[in-house]
Amino acid sequence: MALHKVIEVLAHSDKSWEDAAQGAVTEAAKTLHNIESIYIHDHSARVENNKIVQYRVNAKITFSIES
């Protein structure tokens, strides 16, 4: 039987929401193995002087637990 776990992470990037999502996976992969998917639960941006300066994602990362 396969067992999966889901964690929720927050990540940000100065480039894009996609870059923030990739950053979340890259950082999670430093301590997690068998990452299978990422679900972007929410995204937002920080604005300064009428320009987006930071893209943020709230994501759920799913990985399988080794037995």
- Residue pair 3/46 in contact (Cβ under 8 Å)? The answer is no
| Number of domains present in the structure of the chain | 1
pLDDT reported for residue 66: 79
pLDDT reported for residue 32: 93
* Domain around 16: 3-65
pLDDT tens digits, one per residue of 10-51: 999 999 999 999 999 999 999 999 999 999 999 999 999 999
Residue 1 banded pLDDT, cuts 50, 70, 90? confident
The CATH number covering residue 15 comes to 3.30.1660.10
Cβ neighbors of 4 (< 8 A, separation 6 or more) are 36, 62, 63, 64, 65
Whole-model pTM: value is: 0.88
The pLDDT of residue 67 is above 90: no
Q: Measured between alpha carbons, how far is 19 from 7 in angstroms, rounded to an integer?
A: 19
